[in-house]
Amino acid sequence: MKSILARLPVLLLLAGLLQAQTTVQFGTGKITGSVTGLGSADPNVSGLGAGITFDLTIAATSTATPALTVANHADGIGVAGGSPHEIDNRNNLTAADDESLVFTLGNVTGLAAGQSLRISGIGTRSLGTTEKQYAISDGTTPVGSGSFNTSPFAISVPDLASVMITAAGPSSGTPLNSRFIVYQLLLTVTGNGGPGGNANAEATVTGTGVDGGDHPFFTFNSVAGESYEIQCSTDLASWTPMTTLSGTGGSITYTDEAVQAPGVPRKFHRAITVQTPNGNLTGTTLGITQTWAQEPGGFSRSAVVQVPAGPGPHPVIILLHGNGGTAAGMIGALDPHAGNAIRVAPSGYLTSWNVDGEASKAPDVAFIRDLIARLKTYDNVDAGRISLFGISNGSGMTNRLLIELDGAAFQNAGCQVSQMLAKMHHDGSFWFNAAGTNAYDQPIVPARCRRIISLNGTADPLIPYAGGTSFIGTFIPAQESIHHFARIIAETGPQLADGDGVPGNGTNGYSTPFVKYSYLGGRVVHYKLIGGNHGLAVGGSFTYADEAKQIVAAFLLQ
């Protein structure tokens, strides 16, 4: 069984230790103000295992006058003095000009033999054209240095009794103002001591920043076989799940889709290792009990599971049947192209999914959410590669889940022969109901970190390709539906015109009469099947329906 890891928190400064195994824990984020006397009992400090406690004080020191203070700046926490500049080191030509941020850790307890706390972060630029340097000491002995602009700072000593970050300007020549603002500060536990050995000792943050598109990112070393849920926060109190990433044993970079723009609150990010206490999933039927108006005494919802050979972790595809369908009939919907994935086919209540006017009024969003959470507790499930695929009513449900489930729940989705209902998107917004009904009366912003594929036939009599009303409901056009999802992820361009699609030719991965519309470099794609009906049959032949299976499976398992 994989290690059951404690939370990997970020406060403006922290990462902790796991239960029963040594690791480092990490996060990034803007420091929003001065900090004094923050301890491990603080509500913002969560996830410390093994009884580790500490106190931390951040202060500014200088022999210069006037006295310096730790101040909240536009891009971090720094030092303010008697100058129009945000100053840490005015001249650095004399000892009196040495102005420092000092991080003092005290009362550290709970570390095992061979372990230490490590403090690290990022300091911002200098003022002027000359690059400035900083020096790191443990209070008495220099232990490191780096550039304001190019390197994170880091120090690791067994006790970290006093950690001082000092700006180091020119030792001679013209005095230069400099600016040393820290916008990332975190503590980690390192070392190979303690119970459980050091299997995860290398899972450290290796870089963080903002890319050329103003998207914040951080990079960390992962552990093969583990999965990491990425979360963000603007206040360190409430956390939003963003996505789940698969450990590779190498470096992983998470880039936030949101732009870090002026006036937009900076985000803290943290990663939580997905816990897997239930061993390996095997071929079985899973049950989840729910209660709602149609079943006031409780009802056991079921899902059929097929697991491929091998230890895994395996990708997962959750298959949602159409109205009147069954789990048994849906489990092989992508065969033989998904044999290396765990296939999970849940049963809709009264053989339907609660999307609009179906017989089922069951809380299906909660059912699938809980089913995914259950699947993630198994060792051989790759929590960073979970996909949904729905056909017809199941596709309508998949559209609903794309709108309502958080980004960490699943990463990929396939929608076949049903685009969004008009109720799901109108007036520039996506809509849902927080109580789980299909009223669609509250606006919502869907998760962004996903890949989506949709397929529709132009001759579908049940769900009109061009949008409109059938006896099933009122739908927006299929191409418009997929563009709305592309835009919520990151697409900034207009919807592709119908004539902008790329026809299949048998050598570009799909055949005539498929036409492909692609956004975001292929992260969001739509296939139009000219002449295809609700079963994707063309002229009575299901040849292209079989090809659609291959297209969908290849996309979901990419």
**Chain segment 187-209, per-residue pLDDT in tens:** 555 543 332 222 233 345 566 66
Q: Is the pLDDT of residue 503 over 80?
A: yes
Confidence band of 307 (pLDDT split at 50, 70, 90): very high
**Chain segment 310-330, per-residue pLDDT in tens:** 999 999 999 999 999 999 999
Say if 278 falls within a structural domain.
no
Quote the tokens at residue 447: 């998760």
Number of independent structural domains in the chain: 2
Residues 339 and 455 in one domain: yes
Taking residues 545-551, what's their average pLDDT? Answer: 97
Continuous segment of H or E residues that includes residue 105: strand 100-109
Taking residues 100-126, what's their average pLDDT? Answer: 64
Residues 471 and 355 in one domain: yes
Say if 10 falls within a structural domain.
no
Q: Is the pLDDT of residue 278 over 70?
A: yes
Alpha helices for 385-501 (secondary structure H): 393-404, 478-489
Q: Is the pLDDT of residue 451 over 80?
A: yes
**Of 83, 57, 84, whose CA–CA distance to 70 is shortest?**
57
pLDDT of residue 220: 74
**Of 36, 32, 35, whose CA–CA distance to 74 is shortest?**
32
Residues 187 and 50 in one domain: yes
Q: Which range (65-74, 138-147, 408-417) has the least confidence? A: 65-74
Say if 9 falls within a structural domain.
no
Q: Is the pLDDT of residue 137 over 70?
A: yes
Q: Are strands 524-529 and 451-457 parallel, antiparallel or unpaired?
A: parallel
Residues 258 and 317 in one domain: no
Q: Is the pTM of this model over 0.85?
A: no
CA atoms within 13 A on the CB side of 248: 9
**Domain containing residue 336:** 284-556
Q: Among residues 273, 293, 313, which one ends one of the domains?
A: 273
Arithmetic mean of pLDDT over the chain: 78
Taking residues 452-470, what's their average pLDDT? Answer: 97
Residues 368 and 441 in one domain: yes
Residues 258 and 301 in one domain: no
Say if 11 falls within a structural domain.
no
Distances (CA, A) of 552 to 123, 340, 343, 539: 46, 14, 14, 22
Residues 492 and 446 in one domain: yes
Residues 234 and 169 in one domain: yes
Say if 18 falls within a structural domain.
no
Confidence band of 214 (pLDDT split at 50, 70, 90): confident
Taking residues 111-139, what's their average pLDDT? Answer: 62
Q: Are strands 381-391 and 314-320 parallel, antiparallel or unpaired?
A: parallel
Q: Among residues 226, 249, 273, which one ends one of the domains?
A: 273
Distance from the Cα of residue 21 to its chain's centroid: 24
Distance from the Cα of residue 323 to its chain's centroid: 32
The 3-state DSSP class for residue 396 equals helix
Output the domain CATH number for residue 498: 3.40.50.1820
**Chain segment 221-236, per-residue pLDDT in tens:** 788 888 888 887 765 5
Alpha helices for 416-542 (secondary structure H): 478-489
Contact yes or no for 547/511 (Cβ under 8 A): yes
Say if 327 falls within a structural domain.
yes
Residues 69 and 199 in one domain: yes
Highest mean pLDDT of the ranges 135-149, 196-210, 283-297: 283-297
Residue 334 neighbours by CB distance under 10 Å: 24
Residues 506 and 540 in one domain: yes
Q: Which range (11-25, 50-64, 366-380) has the least confidence? A: 11-25
**Of 427, 426, 422, 485, whose CA–CA distance to 452 is shortest?**
485
Residues 269 and 329 in one domain: no
Q: In the sheet that 216-221 helps form, which strands lie side by side, from edge to edge?
A: 205-210, 216-221, 251-255
Residues 313 and 263 in one domain: no
Say if 2 falls within a structural domain.
no
Q: Which range (80-89, 97-106, 241-250, 459-468) has the least confidence? A: 80-89
The 3-state DSSP class for residue 327 equals helix
Q: Among residues 273, 299, 329, which one ends one of the domains?
A: 273
pLDDT of residue 277: 85
The 3-state DSSP class for residue 532 equals coil
Say if 21 falls within a structural domain.
no
**Chain segment 339-382, per-residue pLDDT in tens:** 999 999 999 999 999 999 999 999 999 999 999 999 999 999 99
The 3-state DSSP class for residue 236 equals coil
pLDDT of residue 554: 98
